Amino acid sequence: MTAAEMALEAPSYDPPPAWCSWMSYADVAADGGRCLADLGQRREAHQLMDEGIALLPGTRSKTRAVFLTYQAETYLCDGEPEIVAQTVTRSLDPASRINAPRCVTMVRDLEPQLSPYAHTAGVGEPLERLRAVG
């Protein structure tokens, strides 16, 4: 069952406590994906992260940038530099646009791991952007 399907079928519970009221099914899916990535279950991790990112409303650009950075980290572990480069761009664009320094720093911190792939098609330009924000 996807996170979206769970959201539609979720039973009614008491409202969440104030300290976690911002947590949504999008957050649970993306964070769960990150946990699965840490456990080495990368295919399932990407599926959950994709779901979480897709469920985020447009008003949560900062969270989208963070989740995309998590996904880029996982693609680095997968040895997929072209997808990392695309994902880095998708993360850096909103993070820069909304002036979210923590998010920009998270994305920029991927530069050393992406550098060995500088000559891989599609990696050079995003890599230069990462270096420029440093």
Q: Which tens digits make up the pLDDT trace of 69-107? A: 999 999 999 999 999 999 999 999 999 999 999 999 999
Q: Is the pTM of this model over 0.95?
A: no
Q: How many helices (H) and strands (E) does the chain have?
A: 8, 0
Q: Which domain holds residue 126?
A: 23-133
User: CATH number of the domain that 100 lies in?
Assistant: 1.25.40.10
Q: What is the dihedral of CA 56, 58, 59, 65, to 10 degrees?
A: 70
**Residues constituting the chain:** 134
Give a yes or no: residue 10 inside a domain.
no
CA distance linking residue 121 with residue 106, whole number of Å: 23
Give 11-48 pLDDT, tens digit per residue: 555 666 788 777 888 999 999 999 999 999 999 999 99
Q: What is residue 19's DSSP assignment?
A: G
Q: Which helix (H) or strand (E) holds 53?
A: helix 42-55
Q: How confident is the model at residue 121 (pLDDT cuts 50, 70, 90)?
A: very high
What is the total count of domains within the chain? Answer: 1
